[in-house]
A = this chain, B = another copy of it.
């Protein structure tokens, strides 16, 4: 059994703790959280600790904490020759304090506390300083997921930027759709099949082949009608910029 401890109690920490509890290959030894109550519903109380001095030596300590805290928290771990990994898409492996063996264990998914996630479908991106540690990270990742990638820090940075576009920004466009529906007394539910189909299309078509709509057809009449319809300046700006981007993209082909 590989012995793992998790530091943190946010979205990623909670989803990892839940996923580890379901595996037979991993022993979740401790969870370090400043607030016991944040994690108490997921793990027995004797496994929760609140101070760094209580941490036991394990095979791997996973920092599931905010990017800004990685450097300081890893300094506060006083275990010797400990493999410490973070779960951040954007931070370099070197953010971890030099006294540790370092690594990265980045699950590429959007985690919300209120929504269950099937970890077997979450791609996990790994990085380590040496082959042995990478092998161990790989075993842990395999216990959770069917898709594992070993990528460089620079590739991970690219992936994180791409993820912001295809998840965070996409969700904001859903929000704009929601607002337009509200303003016109339409239920947002009416858009949900379209939203799900637009995502599912990507499984079998490349985004360029899946593109439809007035911008793709360079249909200026509809584009202008939409711009006159929109009253919110911010929505207008976004409409103009992405429409221009789709049209320019078509010219490149």
Contact = CB atoms under 8 A, between A and B. Distances in A.
Interface string A196-236: 11111111111111111111110101100110011000110
A173 B184 CA distance: 26
A191 interface: yes
Given A172-B246, A212-B111, A181 B159 contact: yes
A209 B113 CA distance: 10
Interface string A71-111: 00000000000000000001000000000000000001111
B159 A121 contact: no
Contact of A161 (B122, B123, B230): B230
A197 B116 CA distance: 10
A108 B151 CA distance: 40
Those 5 A-B pairs whose CB atoms lie nearest each other, nearest first? A168-B213, A199-B199, A158-B184, A175-B207, A166-B177
A115 B171 CA distance: 24
A46 interface: no
B163 A194 contact: yes
A176 to B, nearest CB: 5
A199 B184 CA distance: 23
Majority DSSP secondary structure for residues of A touching B: helix
Given A114-B205, A186-B155, A163 B175 contact: no
A88 to B, nearest CB: 9
Given A154-B184, A155-B186, A168 B211 contact: yes
A129 interface: no
Contact of A110 (B212, B238, B242): B212
B184 A163 contact: no
19 contacts: A67-B219, A67-B221, A67-B222, A90-B222, A110-B201, A114-B209, A115-B205, A121-B197, A122-B193, A163-B177, A163-B194, A166-B176, A168-B211, A168-B215, A169-B242, A171-B202, A171-B211, A172-B245, A192-B202
A245 B238 contact: yes
A117 interface: yes
Interface string A113-151: 011010001110100000000000000000000010101
B226 A167 contact: no
A115 B175 CA distance: 26
